[in-house]
Amino acid sequence: MMMRRITAGIASLLAVGAGSLRAEEPSDLSKAPPPAGLLAPQAVPVVAARVSFLEGPAVDAEGNLFFSDLIGNRILKMTPDGAVSTFRTDSGRTNGNTFDAQGRLISCEGAEQGPGGRRRIVRTDLKTGEVTVLTDRYEGKRYNSPNDVCVDTKGRIWFTDPFYGDDRSALELDAEAVYRIDPDGRVTRVVSQPQIERPNGITITPDARTLYVIDSHSRPGGNRKVWAFSVSEDGRLGDQRLVFDFGRGRGGDGMRLDEHGNLWVAAGIMLPRNAGETADVPPGIYVVSPQGKLLGRIPIPEDVITNLAFGGPQRKTLYVTAGKAIFRVPLAVSGYALYPRLGR
């Protein structure tokens, strides 16, 4: 009996001792304070270098995803099984991409995220590799930094030309604007400041009667809006209508339409950049009806959400470019794209 009591006592002491040696486990790690005395005064982590900035996704008839790396100054290609290769080096700081009805890649060569930007719109024949310059000037002056592009069912190319860089000394044009390239090569400025502050993402309805443009300025109080413009038969823009306002934070960037006409907008930021780009808009894909009703958000666990494209069978796969990563999301709805046609 005495031996059993001694054994039980030793077991109890061991249990208590083990508990006293266990490391403290905070209930909420997000509330853990900085390590006392180990950091320099007022120390705050800052980005030391950015090694990639992904943008401009577009899907071809074989299901390959083409997308830009602005910092790497290249266009990459990802096969349906996820293999990534370099499609083009020295891309001229290409940003937005899309395909025309003939399956040719239309690209916006910009002027941001480093030197070497060519500030023009080019078309690439994927079969031959031939690159054609569609426009590099408006009224004799070089573009600011072509950003995003779409093509309508009449063969017209629409693109935005903002400037998000810090050094504006090399700019030649008097405004940030939206342009249209007609099939005969004629270029028309269709809307500019002050009617729109800083045009970014752009898309057009299948009937070519409504043009949507994201107006996204990073300064405090700047526009974070999505506009709709009526389009006449000859391509002139008419009534301007506010579809959605992101308010404070980082507004929309790239944008696409689904088969129901809803807008899918890449927006938001996780880490605030400055007084104008706060975390008030969480990162994700925001789905908005044509009437401006927010239908929901698809959270994307990355810092900067830049653009999107629909691909896969029946275009029911969403691809999202987000900072340094590509995300893939299965859908129950088909996305709209001029090319390739559904069923191919």
pLDDT of residue 23: 55
Cα-Cα end-to-end distance for the chain: 84
Residue 284 CA to residue 89 CA, distance in Å, equals 29
Asked whether residue 34 is domain-assigned, the answer is: no
Residue 231 CA to residue 238 CA, distance in Å, equals 6
pTM of the model: 0.89
Asked whether residue 112 is domain-assigned, the answer is: no
pLDDT of residue 228: 99
Domain hosting 277: range is 120-330
CA 191, 195, 198, 201 dihedral sign is negative
Asked whether residue 140 is domain-assigned, the answer is: yes
Asked whether residue 146 is domain-assigned, the answer is: yes
Asked whether residue 233 is domain-assigned, the answer is: yes
Asked whether residue 3 is domain-assigned, the answer is: no
Q: How far is CA 85 from CA 61, 107, 149, 246, 272, in A?
A: 17, 18, 23, 35, 32
Asked whether residue 267 is domain-assigned, the answer is: yes
Q: Residue 125: which CATH number?
A: 2.120.10.30
* Strand residues in 234-324 grouped as ranges (E): 237-245, 252-257, 263-267, 284-288, 294-299, 305-311, 317-322
Question: Do the beta carbons of residue 51 and residue 324 sit within 8 Å?
Answer: yes
Asked whether residue 135 is domain-assigned, the answer is: yes
Looking up tokens 């100054």 gives: 73
Q: What is the pLDDT along the chain (344 residues), one digit of tens a residue?
A: 444 444 444 444 334 444 445 555 556 787 888 899 998 898 877 777 777 999 999 999 999 999 999 999 999 999 999 999 999 999 999 999 999 999 999 999 999 888 899 999 999 999 999 999 999 999 999 999 999 999 999 999 999 999 998 888 899 999 999 999 999 999 999 999 999 999 999 999 999 999 999 999 988 888 999 999 999 999 999 999 999 999 988 999 999 999 999 999 999 998 888 888 888 999 999 999 999 999 999 999 998 999 999 999 999 999 999 989 999 999 999 999 999 988 65
The total of structural domains in the chain comes to 1
- Residue 335 has what DSSP assignment? B
pLDDT of residue 286: 98
